[in-house]
Amino acid sequence: MTAAKVKITSYTDPYCTWCWGSEPIIRRLQEVYGEQISVEYKMGGLVKDMDDFYDPRNQISTMAQVAPHWREASERHGMPVDESIFLDSTNDFKSTYPASIAYKAAEFQSREKADNYLRRLREGAAAEHKFIHQLKVQKELAAEVGLDVERLAQDIAGGKAEQAFDDDLREARGRGISGFPTFLITGGNNEILLHGYHPFDDFTAVIDRFTNGTIKADQPKGILSFIKRWQRVATQEVAETFSLTKSEAKKELDELVKVGKIKQQSVGNGWFWHI
């Protein structure tokens, strides 16, 4: 296994729509750089208590105000969303912390499975109308990615996962990070923070600078190979990775469905594609 020359640490939250919107960029980076880069996730804590929450940039303080923000963000970043979840969970949802703690519990078992779990948490909240702050949903998604569900529940209930989450919070706040996503890119003796959503070229420019151009991006192998690797992909992820428009990507994916190579799943205002 080749040692990664560049590490990308994503300070994130399972409910963050611009973190969800950054998934195509991260997957493209992983696809074209392979083992030359590594990606790690730290939980940043988007909303501790919705009763006290206020986002001055987007003027959001209620669940009802989150829904149109998600819809607008989806139109910009291209990933599917079902914003009605925020209208249907107003009496139940209080914080994004429980979902973040569930991810930290998954990390105790396997980093790879935990990252797959984070993806399922994102998919569930963003596009599948799943209430990922609820333990029963966390356990359901954990089972899907092969985690030990009872161990996950025990690590959540016993406080072990919450302590690990608190460690992530301290690290993020220690770096002055309070908005998400934020990406810490390190390579050699260099590091830089990229705050917010950034296009692919911003990452490649940093990678080139940190490695003096010694690592190169390969061409992605093909759409079918891409779907087989990631199991479930959104249209925008194919468009981003293969430098297509969203309509061109949809046409390519529709053809693969017609010949029986893949299947499609309607979610929110878009599609997932899987084998």
pLDDT digits (tens, 9 = 90+) for 156-207: 999 999 999 999 999 999 999 999 999 999 999 999 999 999 999 999 999 9
What architecture (CATH level 2) is domain 49-168?
Answer: Orthogonal Bundle (1.10)
| β partners of residue 8 | 39, 185
C-alpha 251/C-alpha 157 separation (Å) is 46
Start and end residues for every CATH 1.10.472.60 domain found in the chain? 49-168
Q: Give the CA angle between residues 218, 257, 142 to the nearest 5°.
A: 75
Start and end residues for every CATH 1.10.10.10 domain found in the chain? 223-274
pLDDT for res 68: 87
What predicted TM-score, i.e. pTM, was given to this entire model?
0.96
C-alpha 152/C-alpha 134 separation (Å) is 13
Q: Are strands 190-195 and 232-234 parallel, antiparallel or unpaired?
A: unpaired
CATH topology of domain 223-274: Arc Repressor Mutant, subunit A (1.10.10)
Inter-helix orientation angle 97-107/149-157, to 10° = 120
Mean pLDDT of 45-74: 82
C-alpha 75/C-alpha 187 separation (Å) is 33
C-alpha 270/C-alpha 142 separation (Å) is 24
